[in-house]
Amino acid sequence: MRRDEIKKICMVVLALFPATLPAAESDVELLKRADGLASYLDADFAAKYTIVHSKPGLGNSVTVASVFRRDRDEKYAIIVTEPEISLGEGYLKQGDMIWIYDPSSGLFESTKSRERFRNSSASNSDFTRSTLAEDYRVESGSDERLGVFQCRVLSLLALTDKVAYPRMRIWISEDGLVRKTEEYALSGQLLRTTAIPDYEKIGSRRVPKSIVIVDAQRGATMNGQFVHEKTQITIQNPSFRALDNAIFSKQFLENAQRGGRK
């Protein structure tokens, strides 16, 4: 067989096979899929959050809160139900604005998404929908095993100064779920590590069962070894029933505080 005939056959094969083989998912597409699984744009969301913050040598502080989300409108409301001394403390997100309600003074104070939630290792941004594909550029990607999960690891650089962390590394398993993140300062200094080991399946949706956040900046030396502060968030009783519009208002936080102290 002549060389020109072989070349023609190869060209025909190359022309046919791309049409029959599925295209590999790009890193950007994978990030968008992960956003979609961590967001609930088609329904309201409510759940009980138990937030345990561990300080080495000082023990644990526990916060229990009712969390309400309306991702399609970029809104959430959080009402603290425990401890008793903080009963009625509230958080309200409306678009880019986040307000903290102090029931003792009856006043609202603005805060930012990057600020710590009740001085824990969690941030205010941890309670809203995921917008990684909108807020970050994928710099690189690689494949890595994380425990039982085969993951794609993406290095991300922020496209806006509104995000809590300028740089991130994110581990996404083959099912499109985020299993681990590392959040960095612009300098490259590690700020915290987050793990999401398990999710609950509710219909077509996924809800984390627990989130573990290790603070790389705060901790204490115990027996000659530095022990990091840690926060574990347990999510219980998730619901996707429609919520009243009034929940996402300052008046709701004020009324919830009054009702909780009756």
Q: Which residue type occupies 81?
A: T
Query: Tens digits of per-residue pLDDT, 169-215?
Result: 999 999 999 999 999 999 999 999 999 999 999 988 999 999 999 99
Q: Is residue 17, in this structure, part of any structural domain at all?
A: no
Tell me the two tokens of residue 140: 């690189």
Q: Structurally, how many domains does the chain consist of?
A: 1
Q: Is residue 159, in this structure, part of any structural domain at all?
A: yes
Query: Tens digits of per-residue pLDDT, 12-47?
Result: 434 444 443 344 679 999 999 999 999 999 999 999
Check: pTM over 0.75? Answer yes or no.
yes
Q: Is residue 40, in this structure, part of any structural domain at all?
A: yes
Question: For residues 260 and 179, what is the distance between their CA atoms, to the nearest angstrom?
Answer: 36
Which pLDDT band holds residue 256 (cuts at 50, 70, 90)? confident
Query: What is the average pLDDT score of the chain?
Result: 90
Q: Is residue 75, in this structure, part of any structural domain at all?
A: yes
Q: Is residue 145, in this structure, part of any structural domain at all?
A: yes
Residue-level pLDDT at 24: 60
Query: Tens digits of per-residue pLDDT, 62-78?
Result: 999 999 999 999 999 99
Question: For residues 192 and 167, what is the distance between their CA atoms, to the nearest angstrom?
Answer: 11
Q: Is residue 11, in this structure, part of any structural domain at all?
A: no
Helix boundaries (H) for 78-146: 132-135
Helix boundaries (H) for 112-230: 132-135
Q: CA dihedral in degrees (145, 147, 153, 159; nearest 10)?
A: 180
**In terms of residue numbers, what domain contains 215?**
26-260
Q: What is the CATH number of the domain that holds 184?
A: 2.50.20.10
| β-bridge pairing 205-208 and 199-202 | antiparallel
